[in-house]
């Protein structure tokens, strides 16, 4: 252990602790911009590039960066000396001198860490005026807008993309004033190897990386003659409340439905219904592969960031993901076929909007192989944050809304579908159904706790009909890469694997309310998801009465001919 003094107060911390962490123990906050420590997923951005956290250390001539300087025995530190505070303010003013000051219209207004720090340090003028960068804005992709003029070179996105996700889409280009964080050869994002997972957006402290905004397009549709139907992903309902001051994990399903109706959507449906449908198809596909010697392990295919990752990096393995479309695409397909017939509308008169925690879904919706003869199954994707803006701009008092129910026939769902939103949930839901399909027996205990939680790779074995089925779950693309390499080397003995691109699964998606590095928020959302499952009368997908009905009325057999035509897809090398 090491003993030291910070601002005159004594503290004892383990060897290797940084000044920043030691100060935290004394409830002394040293401001930072580049530093980010998401310890639950072993992600630390320690680039020391912003120099905001400088402190005075007795005996040292220069100020030291608290985020990267380890404590030593007898150290005497001042975080609040005039010299340290003045240096911090100067660094911040220099950053602001080359930053567009369009905060009022910036996508990050109120969520920007640079803006907040300027307010916290009481900056009232920027004393340095000089040249400003004028880089082109990259809005080439369907998911992400990159504005290098707002980048403060903190490298959080680079660490997230390269170290956590192992995609290596972003890195530093150029020198000095001309430095940008960009793609290889500074190509537009849509031409790069970016998976659109959106995790760079989730950690960007400023408005340099944001989602493509579709709010005005959706308003236009709502105010048109079209029938505009909306579906909501599982992970939205435990995070949307945060935008209205509620605790993370608060279940706002009923209020969310009310708000969507007030916004003017003609019908409000649930992606969870389609998640139940996915389970019917995926569980049947697994049984089919087991019975007919198909290639194993089967990999879940509902996460578009992950699908793009395997298409880029493991082209020899494109026969192992499940061929199931993702639930919101299944929903879109059924909305424009089954529902259109039921409602007596032409498919082209129906507009499908998905509210998702994810920015990759925006890109996924435009994939041609998921379309329906020239039209898209899903027309627009909004993130949780975009929905919150629509609710706020409409003056809806969200916190005091009465609960309302989803519309039917595509609004009824089981608890199994809700847990799709957290890492491990898809495979747990599939097991609840596969077990009963394969054994013909009732599964009494539906909760598979070994598949839950924030560990990067989780494993479990379940015995079904005397056969041991080996399961793995991973979240974060770096973990996906290690499991795929293990399969490639022939060292893996799994039957089924769930992969989600975002740490924590969809609850941690790049379109969710910003967590600003507080991982307890993800855990609370996760708890909210499991609470919602526990509160459901039906907790297995195949017991959802609407699912039974749609197979009887329209689809026929799970994994049958019509199911293939409507609900399955292929992968592009």
Residues that bind ligand HC0 (CB under 6 A): 233-235, 271, 275, 278, 302-303, 326-328, 356-358, 361, 420-421, 426, 505-506, 509
- Residue 356: which of ligand SF4, ligand HC0, none does it interact with, CB under 5 to 8 A by kind? ligand HC0
428 belongs to the catalytic site: no
Cα dihedral across residues 186, 190, 191, 196: positive or negative: positive
- The entry of ligand SF4, ligand HC0, none near residue 198 (CB within 5 to 8 angstroms by kind) is ligand SF4
Q: Choose from ligand HC0, ligand SF4, none: what does 454 bind? Cβ within 5-8 Å by kind.
A: none
Cα separation values, 94 from 2, 91, 157, Å: 35, 5, 21
Work out whether 197 is an interface residue with ligand SF4 (CB under 6 A). yes
The smaller minimum CB distance to ligand HC0, of residues 368 and 466, is found at 368
Q: How far apart are CA 171 and CA 222, in angstroms?
A: 40
Active site residue 285: yes
Q: Is 160 in the site for ligand SF4 (CB under 6 A)?
A: yes
Cβ closer to ligand SF4: 63 or 519?
519
Alpha carbon 246 to its chain centroid, in Å, reads 19
**With respect to ligand HC0, which residue has the nearer C-beta, 331 or 494?**
331
Report residue 483 as tokens.
């499991």
Q: CB 359 → ligand SF4: shortest distance, Å?
A: 7
Annotated catalytic residue 364 = yes
List the single partner that 328 binds among ligand HC0, ligand SF4, none, CB under 5 to 8 Å by kind.
ligand HC0
Catalytic residue (choose from 47, 118, 258, 322): 322
- CB crowding 366-376: b at 16 or more within 10 Å, else e: ebeebbeeeeb
- Residue 28 vs 144, nearer CB to ligand SF4: 144
Residue whose token pair is 């059924």? 334
Binding span for ligand SF4 by CB under 6 A among 8-16, 193-201, 412-420, 445-453: 193-201
Is 43 an interacting residue with respect to ligand SF4 (CB under 6 A)?
no
The structure tokens 């567009």 sit at: 100
Is 53 in the active site?
no
Contact 333, 565 (CB under 8 A): no
Q: Which of 84, 96, 154, 167 binds ligand SF4 (CB under 6 A)?
A: 167
Q: Is 387 in the site for ligand SF4 (CB under 6 A)?
A: no
506 among known catalytic residues: yes
Q: How far is the CB of 484 from ligand SF4 (least distance, A)?
A: 16
Cβ-based neighbour number of residue 394 at 10 Å: 13
Q: Which residues contact 16 (CB under 8 A, 6 or more apart)?
A: 70
Smallest gap from residue 122 Cβ to ligand HC0 (A): 40
Binding string, residues 99-138; x marks residues near ligand SF4 by CB under 6 A: ----------------------------------------
Cis status, amide bond into 519, omega within 30 of 0: no
Q: Report d(CA 538, CA 375) in Å as an integer.
A: 34
Tokens of 15: 């060897």
Task: Tell me the C-alpha distance between 64 and 4, whole Å.
Answer: 15
Cα–Cα dist 408/546, whole Å: 9
Separation of alpha carbons 282 and 497, rounded Å = 12
C-beta of 99 vs 432, nearer to ligand HC0: 432
Neighbours of 73 (CB within 10 A): 9
Do residues 20 and 35 touch, judged by C-beta distance below 8 A? Answer: yes
R_g of the chain, CA atoms, integer Å: 25
Active-site residue (options: 302, 303, 324, 502): 302
Q: Which two tokens stand for residue 16?
A: 């290797």
Active site residue 565: no
Q: Which is nearer to ligand HC0, 47 or 337 (CB)?
A: 337
Determine, following the binding rule CB under 6 A, whether residue 170 of this chain makes contact with ligand SF4.
Answer: yes
Residues at the contact surface with ligand SF4, assessed by CB under 6 A: 144, 160-161, 165, 167, 169-170, 194-200
Residues taking part in catalysis = 282, 285, 302, 322, 361, 364, 369, 506
């Amino acid at each position: 252990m090491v003993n030291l003094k910070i601002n005159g107060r004594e503290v004892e911390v383990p060897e290797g602790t940084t000044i920043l962490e030691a100060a935290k123990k004394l409830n002394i906050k040293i401001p930072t911009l580049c530093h980010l420590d998401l310890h639950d997923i072993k992600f630390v951005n320690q680039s020391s590039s912003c120099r905001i956290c400088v402190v005075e250390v007795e005996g040292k001539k220069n100020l030291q960066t608290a985020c990267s300087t380890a404590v030593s025995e007898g150290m005497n530190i001042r975080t609040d000396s005039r010299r340290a505070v003045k240096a911090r303010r100067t660094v911040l003013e220099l950053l602001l001198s080359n930053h567009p000051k369009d905060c009022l219209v910036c996508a990050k207004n109120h969520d920007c860490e640079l803006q907040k720090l300027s307010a916290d340090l009481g900056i009232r003028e920027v004393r340095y005026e000089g040249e400003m960068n004028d880089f082109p804005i990259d809005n080439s992709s369907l998911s992400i807008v990159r504005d290098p003029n707002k980048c403060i070179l903190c490298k959080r996105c680079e660490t997230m993309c390269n170290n956590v996700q192992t995609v290596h889409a972003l890195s530093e280009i150029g020198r000095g004033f001309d430095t940008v964080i960009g793609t290889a050869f500074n190509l537009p994002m849509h031409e790069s190897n970016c998976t659109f997972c959106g995790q760079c957006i989730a950690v960007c402290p400023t408005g340099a990386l944001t989602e493509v905004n579709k709010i005005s397009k959706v308003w236009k549709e709502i105010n048109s003659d079209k029938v505009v139907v909306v579906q909501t992903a599982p992970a939205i309902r435990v995070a949307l409340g945060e935008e209205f001051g509620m605790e993370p994990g608060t279940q706002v399903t009923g209020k969310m439905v009310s708000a969507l109706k007030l916004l003017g959507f003609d019908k409000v449906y649930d992606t969870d219904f389609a998640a139940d449908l996915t389970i019917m198809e995926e569980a049947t596909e697994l049984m089919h592969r087991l019975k007919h010697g198909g290639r194993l392990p089967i990999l879940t295919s509902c996460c578009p960031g992950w699908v793009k990752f395997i298409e880029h990096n493991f082209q020899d393995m494109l026969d192992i993901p499940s061929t199931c479309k993702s639930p919101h695409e299944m929903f879109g397909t059924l909305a424009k076929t089954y529902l259109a017939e039921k409602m007596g509308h032409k498919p082209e008169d129906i507009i499908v909007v998905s509210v998702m925690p994810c920015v990759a879904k925006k890109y996924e919706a435009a994939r041609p192989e998921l379309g329906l003869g020239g039209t898209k199954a899903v027309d627009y994707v909004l993130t949780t944050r975009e929905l919150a803006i629509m609710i706020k701009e409409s003056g809806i008092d969200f916190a005091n809304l009465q609960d309302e129910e989803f519309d039917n026939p595509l609004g009824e769902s089981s608890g199994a579908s809700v847990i799709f939103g957290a890492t491990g949930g898809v495979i747990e839901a599939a097991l609840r159904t596969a077990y009963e399909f394969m054994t013909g027996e009732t599964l009494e205990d539906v909760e598979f706790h070994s598949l839950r939680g924030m560990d990067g790779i989780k494993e479990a074995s379940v015995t079904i009909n005397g056969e041991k089925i080996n399961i793995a779950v991973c979240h974060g693309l770096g973990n996906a890469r290690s499991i795929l390499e293990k399969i490639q080397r022939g060292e893996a003995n799994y039957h089924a694997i769930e992969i989600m691109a975002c740490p924590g699964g969809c609850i941690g998606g790049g379109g969710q309310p910003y967590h600003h590095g507080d991982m307890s928020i993800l855990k609370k959302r996760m708890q909210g998801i499991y609470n919602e499952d526990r509160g459901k009368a039906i907790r297995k997908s195949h017991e959802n009465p609407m699912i039974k009905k749609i197979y009887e009325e329209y689809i026929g057999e799970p994994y049958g001919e019509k199911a293939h035509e409507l609900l399955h897809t292929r992968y592009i090398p």
